[in-house]
Structure 1
Amino acid sequence: MIVLEFKAEGKTTQYAAIDEAIRTAQFVRNKSIRFWMDNRGVGQKELYRLSKSLRDEFPFVKALNSSACQASIERAYSSIARFYTAHASSRGTRPTQCLDNCKKSVPGKKGYPRFKKNSRSVEYKISGWKLSETRKQVTFTDKKGIGELKLKGTWDLNFYQLEQIKRVRLVCRADGYYVQFLIGVDNKVDAHPTAYTIGLDVGLKEFYTDSNGHSEPNPRFYRTGERRLKFYQRRVSRKRKGSINRKKAVNKLGRVHLKISRQREEHAKRMARCVIQSNDLVAYEDLRIKNLVKNHCLAKSINDAGWYQFRKWLEYFGVKFGRITVAINPAYTSQECSNCGAVVKKSLSTRTHVCECGFVIDRDWNAAINILKTALSTVGHTGTWILDPNASGDSTSTHAGEVLYEQVGSMNEESSA
């Protein structure tokens, strides 16, 4: 599954219709969550029946395409299913409601389902839209009044059959509206072996340091644009709440935030692609970013580094190019000597590893070597693995094709924003 994204060009009335469709989809999702709260134990079929009753009761819901309503129901049910154990019945309509993921300490999103306040997208299935013969325009045929939108982008939809387009999504961002096409194709690429392996240690001073001693500088996009962010934030605070000028100021502030996020994502994507294409095995730290940002002194720098985005793209390109990606427990990787194995305790401010055996090396370089050694201790595996160097026996793995959902969520969008 790949995602092709285009900028949508239309009239002001069409943009207003898109906003109305997004609000309607949010309304259907929140109604589904409320119905589940009031009737614990209902499954996806009951929520589909709720969608039909909502269409009969509210005219603005009936104006939205039925497939878009069903997609909103599915989004609501996915948040409900995440809260419970992922053991569905044979019909796929009712999850086992005895043990939730919170009690089982399952990583990832698992909290209580919440209501959406500011949705930014609406999703259509195979109906409710129609592509032009040139594949340069898309027309939404429901009664919301969106109509025909021009597609601005470099992707060519003529390479794909209409049957391959599984869903179409309208997304609202600070700089405009976008149309995303979810296409069901095999995105794997046959790559020749390189006979190289590498270990990566991410940091704040350097973006990463590999086991060969090479370091990539940390671009610090947020720090660079922080002065401009403060300028627009002051302009927002000076405007009267609810006024049109405040909305314009908020939009300008959002554009700056959007630019920084795109810069960080594009940098992580480019670095990950280069690393994956140059090596047969890539080992990196299995960091828990949510725990690390609890340190208020380093939270801004950690979020600005984009470690999670980098790992996400490493795993995605690892599956695409058939490379092995290994996530290593980061415990003691910086303390252990990569030469003799002795533990040399050091604070975070100590940037040089000095061992009693006479081995002197940069702290991050030493950690990258330890990460690679731990990864190479287990051979004959494929896909993305999470290894614990202190554990015995076989390590758990996520096989190729499942990593996108089990490890980092759905990550199949290669198109730039």
Structure 2
Amino acid sequence: MIIYEFKVKGKDKQYHAIDDAIRTSQFIQNKALRYWMDNKKIGKYDLNKYCAVLAAEFPFADELNSMARQSAAERAWSAISRFYNNCKRKVKGKKGYPKFKKNCRSVEYKTSGWKLSDTRKAITFSDKKGIGTLKLKGTYDLNYYDIKQIKRVRLVRRADGYYAQFAIDVNITVETQPTNQIVGIDLGLKYFIADNKGNVEQSPQFYRKSEKQLNRANRKKSKKFSKDRNKANQKQSINYHKARNRYARKHLRVSRQRKEYCKRVAYSVIQSNDLVVYEDLNVKGLVRHRNLAKSISDAGWSTFRSWLEYFGHKYGKVTVAVPPHNTSQNCSSCGKKVKKSLSTRTHVCPHCGYVEDRDVNAAVNILRLGLSTVGHTGTYAWGDLPSWAIGVNLSSNGESANQESQCL
């Protein structure tokens, strides 16, 4: 399963229709979740049947395509099933009880409600929302694929416009020649990655470099915010929404820079090695650190891991995640534990005299741990569903995990 993304061009009236379809999809998703809360022993197909009840009760829900309504209910069931699985596996901490959506940014269609033009450069939506025909702007060519291979079509709203995503059911595996190389990777803040051979990749720190511009744009946005309008439940001024959009576009640029960087590094690592061993980090827990939360979020470890797993599956390479416990503390030469703080960047073993960079020493331990045990082969950064398989049931946050890029 791959996802191709195009920017869509239309009129303001069509953009308003897309926004209306997104709000309707959010409404159905929340109604399905409430229906599950109020009734016992509710399953996936019960939520799909409930979509027809909502369409009969609310005229604006009936305007949305029937399969788009089912897709919204499936999003609710995806959150419910994830909660059930976490309870069965007795996951520590919060189990992820489903929450109502407040700011959805996408609406998803299945195999009906849309039609591509003969040139595959435009798409027409035929439901009663009035979206109509939208032009597709992008470098991908959909003529290579049969219409039956397109399983999902999603319209996404972002700060810089609207996009159409196509989930295409194809075999993504590619045969490559073995390199006879193995590598252990340590993820860090000083270096983005460090391997067991001593090679390091500097952390780009895209957010840190753009922080002044982001703060300036945020201040301009705040100055245009009216407290009196907010108390009176009135809409903010047009200038405020323009400033908010400029601020959101800057954040979008930073996130895209980070994503492309993680993609390039992951592609290079996979192409150069047959076995890649890395840390099974709990990033959600690490970002709770009050002093390092911003730096950890800026590093993009989860994004890098998801792309590493995707390219590993695509090119037939083995990726293994191992527990990170004491990989930085243990000496890679004698195996004895040498305690050191985060500020200590050089590993000096008092037992055997081994001296090495802290991250390189950890990478050697990670590789040795991956070779001595099976590790967590087959686990994925974002849950049981692998990152390369996302697309059959797309999430509602407007992001696709395995979107291909012409840069590769």
Post-superposition shift, 1:102? Answer: 3.7
Specify the alignment match of 1:348 in structure 2: 342
Is 2:387–2:402's contact at 8 Å kept on the other side of the alignment? no
Distance, in Å, in 2 between the alignment partners of 1:47 and 1:38 is 12
Specify the alignment match of 2:35 in structure 1: 35
Distance change (3 Å), C-alpha of 1:403 and 1:301: closer
Matched, 1:414 2:404: yes
The 5 Å alignment of 1:137-156 reads 137-156=122-141
Matched, 1:322 2:316: yes
Structure 1 residue runs of 5 or longer lacking an equivalent are 86-100, 387-396
Q: Which moved more, 1:334-343 or 1:362-371?
A: 334-343
Post-superposition shift, 1:416? Answer: 7.5
Post-superposition shift, 1:139? Answer: 0.5
* One-letter identity of the residue aligned with 1:351: R
Distance change (3 Å), C-alpha of 1:180 and 1:108: farther
**Residue-by-residue CA offset, 1:132-169 (whole Å, 9 max, x unaligned):** 00000000011111111010000000000001000100
What is the number of residues matched between the two proteins?
Answer: 386
**Residue-by-residue CA offset, 1:177-227 (whole Å, 9 max, x unaligned):** 000000000111101100000011111111111111011011000001100
Is 1:221–1:264's contact at 8 Å kept on the other side of the alignment? yes
SS at 1:336's partner residue? coil
Distance change (3 Å), C-alpha of 1:159 and 1:147: same
Distance change (3 Å), C-alpha of 1:176 and 1:416: farther
* One-letter identity of the residue aligned with 2:195: D
Is 1:326–1:375's contact at 8 Å kept on the other side of the alignment? yes
Matched, 1:359 2:344: no
**Residue-by-residue CA offset, 1:40-96 (whole Å, 9 max, x unaligned):** 2222222222111111111111111111001001111111111214xxxxxxxxxxx
Is 1:316–1:404's contact at 8 Å kept on the other side of the alignment? no
Is 1:82–1:109's contact at 8 Å kept on the other side of the alignment? no
Distance change (3 Å), C-alpha of 1:367 and 1:405: same
Is 2:196–2:360's contact at 8 Å kept on the other side of the alignment? yes
Structure 2 residue runs of 5 or longer lacking an equivalent are 227-235, 391-400
Is 1:129–1:140's contact at 8 Å kept on the other side of the alignment? yes
The 5 Å alignment of 1:192-207 reads 192-207=177-192
Is 1:71–1:123's contact at 8 Å kept on the other side of the alignment? yes
Q: State TM-score, norm by structure 2.
A: 0.90
Post-superposition shift, 1:103? Answer: 6.3
Q: State TM-score, norm by structure 1.
A: 0.89
Is 2:307–2:402's contact at 8 Å kept on the other side of the alignment? no
Specify the alignment match of 2:293 in structure 1: 299
* One-letter identity of the residue aligned with 1:151: L
Where relative contact order (Cα < 8 A, 6+ residues apart) is larger, the structure is: 2
SS at 1:405's partner residue? coil
* One-letter identity of the residue aligned with 2:269: V
Matched, 1:405 2:385: yes
Distance, in Å, in 2 between the alignment partners of 1:362 and 1:113 is 44
Specify the alignment match of 1:175 in structure 2: 160
Specify the alignment match of 2:10 in structure 1: 10
* One-letter identity of the residue aligned with 1:53: V
SS at 1:398's partner residue? coil
Distance, in Å, in 2 between the alignment partners of 1:253 and 1:196 is 44
* One-letter identity of the residue aligned with 2:335: G
Residue 108 of structure 2: which of 123, 133, 136 is its match?
Answer: 123
SS at 2:97's partner residue? coil
Aligned-residue sequence identity (percent) comes to 58
The 5 Å alignment of 1:280-299 reads 280-299=274-293
Distance change (3 Å), C-alpha of 1:165 and 1:20: same
Specify the alignment match of 1:262 in structure 2: 256
Residue 143 of structure 2: which of 153, 158, 171 is its match?
Answer: 158
Matched, 1:114 2:99: yes
**Residue-by-residue CA offset, 1:307-331 (whole Å, 9 max, x unaligned):** 1111111111111111111111111
